[in-house]
C-alpha cells in the first residue's frame, strides 16, 4: 500500500479514540527542537588558540569528516536540517564565535562575533540559543570557575556569563524569537570535600552578579543546569540539582534538566510534572546516558517516549523548551543529528497519538486493569504510518531513505575534508 493509504487506515484507528490526527500533525509542525551545533565538530569550536577538551567532557571516536570551519559546520547543519521535518533552532556555545583570526578572550566576546551565525539563521528561518563555555580553558584547569576561591578567576567567568546573556539578547532581537542562554559549569572535586558550603556560597554570589545585569526577557531566557558528577568531580559538584532548583525558583530563572545529569536510577520524565507545578517554563537537554553522562545519540527508547508523554499529557508543549545534547565521533555526525532529532520528534508525535485524557480518567476511577491494557496496546498502534505521512507532507525523506542522502554527502563533501 502507498504512504497515503497506510496513513488513512492508521488515521481511522486513532480516530476511534477521539484523536484528531490532522490537528496532531498541525501541532507537530510548530514544535521547534534546539539542535546543538557541537555534534558536528566534537565540541572543538573556532577559537584562534583552541584548548584541549576538558571539564569532565569526553568525545570518543575518530570518524572522518568533522567540520573544521564555521562554513563547514553550517553546511553540515543545513544538510541535517533538510532531513528533519519542521522548522527548528540551533544551539551555540561561546567557542563557536568568529573573530577573524583575532584572539578574543571569552570575557570579551560580543554580538559582533556571531553576526555570521545570525545572518545564516535568518536565511534559514532558524532561532538561535546560546551557552557560555566554562570549560576547555586555562582558567578552568583546576575544575573550578564561578565558585573558584580566586576572585580574579571568578570575575573572568562572571564577565563571560554577563556577555553571554547580552549575546543571547542580540539573537532574540535579530531573529524575533527569544534565545535560551544556559549556564553550566564543571565545578567540583574529585575526592570528598572538607567544605561543601563555601564553594556553593561563591557560586550563588557569582550568579547573583551575573543576573544583576539587566537583559530584556522578551529576547533572552536565562537557564541554569545541574549535574550529579563528572570526570574530575566524582565526589562533589558545586552546582547540584538541589542548588540550581532552589536558585531558579527563588530568582525566577529556568531550571534546565539534562537527561544525563542524574543518578542512573533517576529519570527526568519523572521530574517534569513536579517542575511544571511550580515553574512557568522548563528547559531540557535530551541526551542518552549509558552508565554515566556519556551523551550518546538519542534513540526512541522508553525514557524518551516517557519524556514526550509527560510534556504532551500535561499540555506543556508551549512551556517546555526542548534542546538536544549529545556528541558521538564514532559515527557520521550528520547522521547523528538526523537520528537524534527525528527520534525526538517521533516521540512527541507518538505521545500525541495516545488517548491521554481517557487514560487519566481510568486512573482517577481506579480502573488500573484497563489503563494498563490500553497503555500496552497503544505501543503497537500504527504510529509509524502517521510518521511516514508527516515526513512526506513536510518534504523530507521517508523512513530510512534519508540515509542515502547522508551517504552521498559523505562521499561528496565530508570525506574530501
The confidence score (pLDDT) of residue 110 equals 97
pLDDT, one tens digit per residue, over 68-105 is: 999 999 999 999 999 999 999 999 999 999 999 999 99
Please name the helix (run of DSSP H) or strand (run of DSSP E) that holds residue 128, with its range, or none: strand 127-131
Q: Of 147-156, 213-222, 292-301, which gets the smallest average pLDDT?
A: 292-301
Residue 74: strand, helix, or coil: helix
Residues 303-308, mean pLDDT to the nearest whole number: 98
Cα–Cα dist 158/167, whole Å: 14
Indicate the burial class of 23 (C-beta count within 10 angstroms; 0-12, 13-18, 19 or more): exposed
The confidence score (pLDDT) of residue 222 equals 98
How does residue 53 score in pLDDT terms, banded at 50, 70 and 90?
low
Kindly tell me if the per-residue pLDDT of 49 is higher than 80.
no
Residues 53-59, mean pLDDT to the nearest whole number: 70
Cα torsion at 77, 79, 85, 86 (round to 10°)? Answer: 50
The confidence score (pLDDT) of residue 94 equals 97
| HSE-CB for 37 with a 13 A CA cutoff | 30
How does residue 56 score in pLDDT terms, banded at 50, 70 and 90?
low
The confidence score (pLDDT) of residue 234 equals 86
pLDDT, one tens digit per residue, over 275-302 is: 999 999 999 999 999 988 889 999 999 9
Identify whether the C-beta of residue 189 lies closer than 8 Å to the C-beta of residue 143.
Answer: yes
Q: Which residues are catalytic?
A: 184, 225, 227, 258, 261, 285, 293, 295, 325
Cα–Cα dist 414/61, whole Å: 16
Provide the sign of the torsion angle of the four alpha carbons 152, 154, 155, 161, taken in this order. Answer: positive
Identify whether the C-beta of residue 149 lies closer than 8 Å to the C-beta of residue 202.
Answer: yes
Kindly tell me if the per-residue pLDDT of 1 is higher than 90.
no
The confidence score (pLDDT) of residue 120 equals 98
DSSP 39: G
The residues spanned by each domain of the chain are 1-30+354-417, 32-352
Residues 119-133, mean pLDDT to the nearest whole number: 98
Residues 16-23, mean pLDDT to the nearest whole number: 97
The string of DSSP codes covering 367-399 is: -HHHHHHHHHHGGGSSHHHHHHHHHHHTTS--G
Average of per-residue pLDDT values in the chain: 95
Residues 55-60, mean pLDDT to the nearest whole number: 72
Q: Which long-range contacts (CB under 8 A, 24 or more apart) does 381-384 make?
A: 381/10, 381/13, 381/14, 381/353, 382/6, 382/9, 382/10, 382/13, 383/10, 383/346, 383/349, 383/350, 383/353
Grid cell, residue 45, equals 569550536
Q: 32-352: which CATH number, 3.20.20.100, 3.20.20.150, 1.50.10.10, 3.60.15.10?
A: 3.20.20.150
How does residue 60 score in pLDDT terms, banded at 50, 70 and 90?
confident
Indicate the burial class of 111 (C-beta count within 10 angstroms; 0-12, 13-18, 19 or more): middle
The confidence score (pLDDT) of residue 173 equals 98
The confidence score (pLDDT) of residue 301 equals 97
Identify whether the C-beta of residue 341 lies closer than 8 Å to the C-beta of residue 33.
Answer: yes
Residues 242-252, mean pLDDT to the nearest whole number: 97
How does residue 231 score in pLDDT terms, banded at 50, 70 and 90?
confident
Identify whether the C-beta of residue 37 lies closer than 8 Å to the C-beta of residue 93.
Answer: yes
Return the CA Rg of the chain: 22
Q: Which residue has the higher pLDDT, 1 or 376?
A: 376
DSSP 235: S
pLDDT, one tens digit per residue, over 312-360 is: 999 999 999 999 999 999 999 999 999 999 999 999 999 999 999 999 9
Cα–Cα dist 96/76, whole Å: 15
Looking at the DSSP assignment, which residues form a beta bridge with residue 179?
A: 220
Amino acid at each position: 500500500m502507498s504512504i497515503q493509504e497506510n496513513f488513512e487506515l492508521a488515521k481511522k484507528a486513532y480516530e476511534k479514540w477521539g484523536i484528531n490526527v490532522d490537528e496532531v500533525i498541525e501541532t507537530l509542525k510548530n514544535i521547534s527542537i534546539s539542535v546543538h551545533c557541537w555534534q558536528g565538530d566534537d565540541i572543538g569550536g573556532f577559537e584562534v588558540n583552541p584548548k584541549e577538551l576538558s571539564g569532565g567532557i569526553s568525545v570518543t571516536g575518530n570518524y572522518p569528516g568533522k567540520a573544521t570551519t564555521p562554513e563547514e559546520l553550517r553546511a553540515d547543519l543545513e544538510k541535517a536540517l533538510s532531513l528533519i521535518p519542521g522548522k527548528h533552532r540551533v544551539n551555540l556555545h561561546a567557542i563557536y564565535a568568529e573573530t577573524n583570526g583575532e584572539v578574543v578572550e571569552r570575557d570579551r566576546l560580543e554580538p559582533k562575533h556571531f553576526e555570521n551565525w545570525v545572518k545564516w539563521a535568518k536565511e534559514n528561518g532558524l532561532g538561535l540559543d546560546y551557552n557560555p563555555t566554562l570549560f576547555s580553558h586555562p582558567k578552568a584547569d583546576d575544575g573550578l570557575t564561578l565558585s573558584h576561591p580566586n576572585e580574579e578567576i571568578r570575575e573572568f567567568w562572571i564577565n563571560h556569563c554577563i556577555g553571554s546573556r547580552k549575546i543571547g539578547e542580540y539573537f532574540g532581537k535579530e531573529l524575533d524569537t527569544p534565545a535560551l542562554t544556559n549556564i553550566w559549569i564543571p565545578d567540583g572535586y574529585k575526592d570528598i570535600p572538607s567544605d561543601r558550603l563555601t564553594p556553593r556560597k561563591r557560586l550563588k554570589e557569582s550568579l547573583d552578579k551575573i543576573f544583576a545585569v539587566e537583559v530584556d526577557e522578551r529576547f533572552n531566557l536565562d537557564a541554569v543546569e545541574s549535574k550529579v558528577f563528572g570526570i574530575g568531580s566524582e565526589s562533589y559538584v558545586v552546582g547540584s540539582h538541589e542548588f540550581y532548583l532552589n536558585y531558579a525558583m527563588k530568582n525566577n530563572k529556568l531550571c534546565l534538566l539534562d537527561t544525563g545529569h542524574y543518578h542512573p536510577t533517576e529519570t527526568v520524565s519523572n521530574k517534569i510534572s513536579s517542575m511544571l507545578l511550580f515553574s512557568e517554563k522548563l528547559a531540557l537537554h535530551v541526551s542518552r546516558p549509558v552508565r554515566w553522562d556519556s551523551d550518546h545519540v538519542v534513540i526512541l527508547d522508553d525514557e524518551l517516549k516517557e519524556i514526550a508523554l509527560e510534556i504532551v499529557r500535561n499540555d506543556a508543549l508551549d512551556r517546555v523548551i526542548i534542546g538536544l545534547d549529545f556528541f558521538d565521533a564514532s559515527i557520521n555526525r550528520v547522521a547523528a543529528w538526523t537520528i537524534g532529532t527525528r527520534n525526538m520528534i517521533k516521540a512527541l508525535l507518538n505521545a500525541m497519538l495516545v488517548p491521554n485524557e481517557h487514560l487519566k480518567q481510568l486512573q482517577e476511577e481506579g480502573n488500573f486493569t484497563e489503563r494498563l491494557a490500553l497503555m500496552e496496546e497503544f505501543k503497537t498502534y500504527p504510529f509509524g504510518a502517521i510518521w511516514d505521512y508527516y515526513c512526506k507532507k513536510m518534504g523530507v525523506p521517508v523512513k530510512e531513505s534519508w540515509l542515502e542522502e547522508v551517504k552521498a554527502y559523505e562521499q561528496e563533501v565530508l570525506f574530501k575534508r
